[in-house]
Amino acid sequence: MTAMLLDLLRAARGAGVRISVAESIDAFRSAEVVGYADRQVLKDTLSLTLGKSLEDKKLFEDCFDLFFQREMVSSGETEAGSRSREPGEAGEHDGLASLSAMLLENDQAGLAAAMEGAAEAIGASNIALFTQTNMFAWRILEQMGLPELDRDIAHLRGEGADEATAERLEQMRAALGQQARAYMERQLTLFSAGTTRDIREGALRNVRLSQLDRRDMDRMRALVRDMAKQIATRYSRKRWQDRRGHLDIRRTMRRNMSFDSIPFHTIWKRTRIDRPSIMVLCDVSGSVAAVARFLLMFLYSLADVLAGLRSFAYSNHLIEVSDILARREIDEAIEEVMKVVGFGSSDYGRCFADFAEIAMRNVNRQTTVIILGDARGNRNEPRIDLMKQIFERANRVIWLNPEPQSLWGTGDSDILRYEPFCHQVTSCGTLTQLERVISEMMQQAQ
């Protein structure tokens, strides 16, 4: 039962149900309480335990029904033409292998149990690709006793003892093969969704953001949100620093009361490290129109999970968009930002001047400034002096450029002029590159 429930949870995760380790433990405890005898009770209990939303509950219930669906394996004969053997009763097929006997007796329950047992023995739940269906189906048949069945058919035909029985077994063998394939197709539906998604996500992570298909935006949105959660986890954690050489006398005395206040265990004073504030400036100009929506999606995901984030969008001027991202759904927020400030002709100098007026006074040694943009200012004054001022006031300045590094400094690109006043400048043309930058940023925050 433990293995069965683990497989069910794995299938549910593949179907898109978000299940944490703690929720998995709760599922096992709930199953122990209600038992496995009443399947509907088990389904309702696990749905309450694992479903965090109506969508999650619907996904889990559909997965549960498919997981426990049992199609009775038939030998191809009607029930009227056969009967199951009573326990201890001698049968007319006792000389044949067990699989041959079950087929001739049309023992549907026995065949279904044998197929499920064989599937478990060969690890059928590990199927990942449609091309593996026939291979796994063949291995199930072998585990059920296909070689012995073939020997029985050959024996019956070879001696000419019972050609009719051999012919029946041959037909049943073909039907059993089709049923094994159907069983594996159901396993593929159950267990390959997660693998297929992983393959697709792996490809999306390495596609240039400028080449993204609109059909991939929903999947990319989930991937970006996961990255944003990682950032939020790192920045929201309370951190403390020991002040070595500064003994906390009161806490040390209290800790050593059981030793007559002899300080066997010393406690040092600690200073809380303030959480850094984050300001993100996002380019939504015409030169990055192909990736502007993705950059805004990233910005929205950060704002959704990271308290205290201030968000700005710019093209030929800059505005703060924190309120828009906070009060709108993602698609509406992106449309409103693009309508107000998007698709303009880039003027980085003016945008930095706007930022200096709006927020420069709030930039300090706890501030991380992230700039998303290609630094193409259409040969306007780049205002390097303001970039230097941000650099000198902030804790870190990170510039993420969606262009390949080979294009930096070409044409109207000012990225090489801004680079000396950034702690980190890197290309983020793909999601993989963006993930690497985020990982490095979190390490720097430690």
Same domain (yes/no): 436, 293: yes
Selected residue with higher pLDDT from 443 and 66: 66
Name the pTM for this structure. 0.55
Q: Are residues 367 and 394 in the same domain?
A: yes
- pLDDT the model gives residue 233: 64
Confidence of residue 78 (pLDDT cuts 50, 70, 90): very low
Does 189 share its domain with 305? no
Contact 36, 1 (CB under 8 A): yes
Range of the structural domain that residue 99 is part of: 92-202
Rounded to an integer, what distance in angstroms lies between the CA atom of residue 440 and that of residue 446? Answer: 10
In this structure, the number of other CB atoms found within 10 A of the CB of residue 14 comes to 19
Model confidence at 86, pLDDT cuts 50, 70, 90, reads: very low
* Residue pLDDT, tens place only, 133-185: 899 999 999 999 999 989 988 888 876 667 888 888 899 999 999 889 888 88
Return d(Cα 20, Cα 23) in angstroms, integer. Answer: 5
> What is the length of the chain?
446
**DSSP output for 382-417:** --HHHHHHHHHHSSEEEEEESS-GGGTTSTTB-HHH
Q: What is the mean pLDDT of residues 329-357?
A: 90
pLDDT digits (tens, 9 = 90+) for 383-414: 999 999 999 999 999 998 988 889 999 999 99
179 and 109 assigned to the same domain = yes
pLDDT band at 312, cuts 50/70/90? very high
Could you give the CA distance from residue 172 to residue 141 in angstroms, rounded to a whole number?
12
User: Which pLDDT tens digit goes with each residue over 223-272?
Assistant: 777 776 666 666 555 544 444 556 777 787 777 777 776 776 777 766 55
Q: Residues of the chain with pLDDT > 90: what percent?
A: 20
pLDDT in tens, 408-441: 999 999 999 999 999 999 888 777 777 777 667 6
Among residues 274, 292, 316, which one ends one of the domains?
274
Same-domain status, 293 and 355: yes
- Sheet containing strand 367-372, edge to edge, reads 318-320, 310-314, 277-283, 367-372, 396-401, 424-427
Burial class (CB in 10 A: 0-12, 13-18, 19+), 302: buried
CB atoms within 10 A of CB 160: 8
Q: What is the CATH number of the domain that holds 331?
A: 3.40.50.410
Q: Are residues 288 and 263 in the same domain?
A: no
Euclidean distance between CA atoms 240 and 274, whole angstroms? 9
- Contact indicator for 426, 400 with CB cutoff of 8 Å: yes
pLDDT at site 428:
82
Question: Do both 262 and 293 map to the same domain?
Answer: no
CA–CA separation, 146 and 166 (whole Å): 14
Q: Are residues 285 and 353 in the same domain?
A: yes
Please provide the DSSP assignment of 198-252 as one string. Answer: HHHHHHHHTS-GGG--GGGHHHHHHHHHHHHHHHHHHHHS-EEEEEEEEE-HHHH
